[in-house]
């Protein structure tokens, strides 16, 4: 991992023009703002009480010293913990509008100072107003700093990615990130390790003809990934070099999403388990379970699922037996509706089914080709994956949970969610494939050790 990889990724990024990562780079906020927001004379800092203390006050001071008028909006000023719910986007957008989006011909610059939630709220609010923004990351907790789109809960409660431009400038000061609670780095590290099974999901879907390939995005995420997640001990100790490589890995994931205009390069089935928990307002011991912490549990699960896929000889796949599991569109739509019956988003499953549906003969052709080319596909998947035992070890080293029970869920609930994930998105994954082959229940239970 190197600055050269960041610079190369920025060449393909649609929105972000500069990204600095390192000790003490907070001081570069003003020069970067002046360079990439020409003529800007006003800024509004969006933060919460914790991130204001971590970096917001210092950023405001730097801006004022440079002669920039500074305004501020604090989300939940009393310190209440909050999700990335859409009503906060409305709040942030209205706060920016209240002070005037433009004055004397110069647009105000929103400056998000925080981690994933603050960044996503500001990203969407700025996107709705049609103005670029700058983000100052305060924790190594997410890859969303640099991604296009904002992961938000809709007013109905469904977690989805809303389109909006990524930040024009990103400042990631490692000194600041060291002051964040340890669980935040654990969350980000787990989220970065998710790119291992997410990459396998993309390979599998592509080889089955169910998704397109995007070579530059693949390489942006994957070329430095194993190096970025290779020193969990160094990350846990907050050492500069491994922490910087890890943060660069997070940023590269977002830049790949900008390049492809999709989250496919950085997320697979493991993320959908987390989205299902968030849609149910899942908490543990009265606290919200961070997204990356949830993702880590199901990253381990998916790596264990893939180990069973690798152990099976699909060159002997009974295609006719698989086709017995294929259903016409109308029946699949009914299954999709049943997956979310009684919720506020009952049509979510049917939409996903319609997006992924292929007819019986196309399904047959896909399976026959997969069967014939299994040795090559298996080798490709094997090269992508990291042994599940090592994934679990690294989770433990950084202080991240590894089982559903450790985040307040259960194996049985997770098994039920495994069947629902295929109705969450239009994205084809290993769990779609195993549903068709009739192996999902067996492989999922073995992955959870039941």
331-352 pLDDT, tens per residue? Answer: 999 999 999 998 888 789 999 9
Which among 284, 281, 276 is positioned nearest to 431, based on CA atoms? 276
Phi-psi region of 286 (alpha: psi -120 to 50; beta: other; left: phi over 0): left
Instruction: Tell me if 55 is assigned to some domain.
Output: yes
Q: Do 151 and 58 share a domain, yes or no?
A: yes
Provide the CATH number for the domain around residue 72.
3.40.50.1970
247 within domain boundaries: no
With a CB cutoff of 8 Å and minimum separation 6, the contacts of 400 are: 186, 187, 189, 190, 292, 293, 296
DSSP string, 372-414: HTHHHHHHHHHHH---HHHHHHHHHHHT---SGGGGT--HHHH
Mean pLDDT confidence for 251-267: 94
In a domain, 233, yes or no: no
> What is the structure's pLDDT at 1?
46
Mean pLDDT to the nearest integer, 86-92: 96
306 and 163, same structural domain? no
- Asked whether residue 55 falls in the same domain as residue 164, the answer is yes
Residues 414 and 308 in one domain: yes
Q: Is residue 403 predicted with pLDDT exceeding 50? A: yes
Give me the mean pLDDT over the 426-438 stretch.
97
pLDDT of 232 above 70: yes
| Distance in angstroms (rounded) separating the CA atoms of residues 275 and 421 | 9
Spatial contact of 324 and 364, defined as CB atoms under 8 Å apart: no
Q: Let me know whether 349 and 312 are in one domain.
A: yes
276 domain residue, yes or no: yes
Q: Answer yes or no: is 101 within a domain.
A: yes
- Per-residue pLDDT tens for 234-245? 999 999 999 999
**What is the pLDDT at residue 2?**
66
Judge contact between 365 and 208, C-beta under 8 A. no
Residue 219 within a domain: no
pTM: 0.93
Does the pLDDT value for residue 439 go beyond 70?
yes
For residue 160, what pLDDT is reported? 79
7 and 110 share one domain:
yes
Domains of the chain: total: 2
Closest CA to 188 of 119, 142, 249, 121: 142
> Are residues 68 and 149 located together in one domain of the fold?
yes
CB 278 within 8 A of CB 83: yes
Let me know: does 268 contact 201? Beta carbons within 8 Å. Answer: yes
pLDDT tens digits, 138-161: 999 988 899 988 988 888 777 778
Whether residue 403 sits in one domain with residue 301:
yes
Q: Is the pLDDT of residue 113 over 50?
A: yes
In this prediction, residue 86 has a pLDDT band, given cuts at 50, 70 and 90, of very high
Query: Are 22 and 141 contained in the same domain?
Result: yes
- Average pLDDT value for residue range 377-395: 98
List phi, psi (to 5°) of 136.
Answer: -115, 110
The pLDDT, as a whole number, for residue 15 is 96
Rounded mean pLDDT, 61-77? 97
Q: Is residue 272 part of a domain?
A: yes
Identify whether the C-beta of residue 158 lies closer than 8 Å to the C-beta of residue 261. Answer: no
Q: Could you give the CA distance from residue 257 to residue 106 in angstroms, rounded to a whole number? A: 30
For residue 153, the model assigns a pLDDT of: 84
**Over residues 410-428, mean pLDDT:** 97
Q: How confident is the model at residue 91 (pLDDT cuts 50, 70, 90)?
A: very high
Residue 81, pLDDT > 90, answer: no
Burial 281-302 (b: 16+ CB within 10 A, else e): ebebeeeebbbbbbbbbbbbbb
**pLDDT of 104 higher than 80:** no
Buried b / exposed e over 318-351, threshold 16 CB at 10 Å, is eeeebeeeeeeeeebbebbbebbeeeebeebbbb
- Residue 407 and residue 283 share a domain: yes
3-state secondary structure of 237: coil
Whether residues 173 and 75 share a domain: the answer is yes
Residue 373 pLDDT exceeds 70: yes
Query: Is there a single domain that holds both residue 144 and residue 276?
Result: no
Percent of the chain with pLDDT over 70: 100
What is the rounded average pLDDT for all residues in the chain? 95
Q: How many CA atoms lie within 13 A of 143 on its CB side?
A: 31
Our CA dihedral for 304, 305, 311, 314, rounded to 10 degrees, sits at -160
Q: What residue numbers bound the domain in which 28 lies?
A: 3-180
Would 293 be classed as within a structural domain? yes
Least confident of 196-210, 270-284, 351-365, 381-395: 270-284
């Amino acid at each position: 991992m190197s600055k050269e990889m960041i610079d190369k990724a920025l060449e393909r990024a649609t929105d972000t023009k500069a990204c600095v990562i390192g000790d003490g780079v907070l001081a570069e906020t003003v020069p970067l703002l002046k360079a990439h927001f020409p003529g800007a004379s006003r800024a509004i800092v969006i933060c919460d009480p914790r991130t204001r203390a971590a970096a917001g006050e210092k950023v405001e001071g730097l801006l004022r010293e440079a002669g920039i008028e500074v305004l501020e909006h604090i989300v939940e000023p009393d310190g209440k913990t909050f999700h990335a719910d859409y009503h906060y986007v409305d709040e942030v957008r209205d706060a920016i509008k209240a002070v005037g989006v433009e004055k004397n011909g110069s647009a105000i610059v929103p400056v998000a100072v925080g981690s994933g939630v603050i960044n996503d709220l500001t990203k969407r609010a700025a996107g709705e107003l049609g103005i670029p923004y700058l983000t100052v990351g305060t924790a190594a907790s997410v890859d969303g700093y640099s991604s296009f789109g904002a992961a938000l809960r809709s007013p109905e409660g469904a977690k989805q990615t809303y389109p909006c431009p990524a930040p024009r400038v990103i400042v990631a000061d490692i000194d600041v990130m060291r002051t964040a609670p340890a669980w935040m780095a654990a969350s980000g590290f787990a989220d970065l390790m998710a790119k291992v099974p997410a990459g396998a999901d993309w390979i599998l879907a592509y080889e089955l003809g169910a998704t397109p390939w995007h070579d530059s995005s693949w390489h942006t995420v994957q070329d430095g990934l194993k190096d970025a997640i290779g020193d969990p001990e160094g990350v846990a100790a907050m050492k500069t070099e491994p922490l910087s490589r890890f943060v660069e890995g997070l940023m590269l994931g977002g830049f790949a999403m900008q390049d492809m205009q999709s989250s496919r390069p950085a997320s697979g089935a493991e993320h959908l388990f987390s989205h299902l928990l968030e849609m149910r307002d899942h908490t543990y011991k009265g606290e919200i379970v961070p997204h990356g912490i949830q993702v880590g549990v199901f990253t381990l699960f998916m790596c264990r699922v893939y180990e069973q896929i690798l152990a099976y000889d699909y060159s002997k796949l009974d295609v006719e037996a698989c086709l017995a599991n294929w259903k016409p569109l109308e029946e699949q739509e009914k299954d999709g509706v049943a997956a979310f019956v009684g919720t506020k988003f009952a049509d979510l499953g049917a939409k996903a089914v319609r997006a992924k549906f292929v007819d019986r003969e196309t399904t047959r052709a896909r399976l026959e080709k997969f069967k014939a080319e299994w040795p090559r596909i298996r080798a490709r998947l094997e090269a992508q994956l990291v042994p599940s035992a090592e994934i679990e070890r690294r989770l433990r080293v950084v202080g991240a949970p590894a089982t559903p029970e450790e985040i307040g869920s259960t194996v049985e609930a997770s098994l039920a969610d495994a069947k629902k994930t295929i109705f969450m998105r239009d994205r084809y994954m290993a769990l779609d494939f195993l549903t068709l082959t009739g192996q999902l229940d067996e492989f999922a239970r073995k992955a959870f050790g039941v």
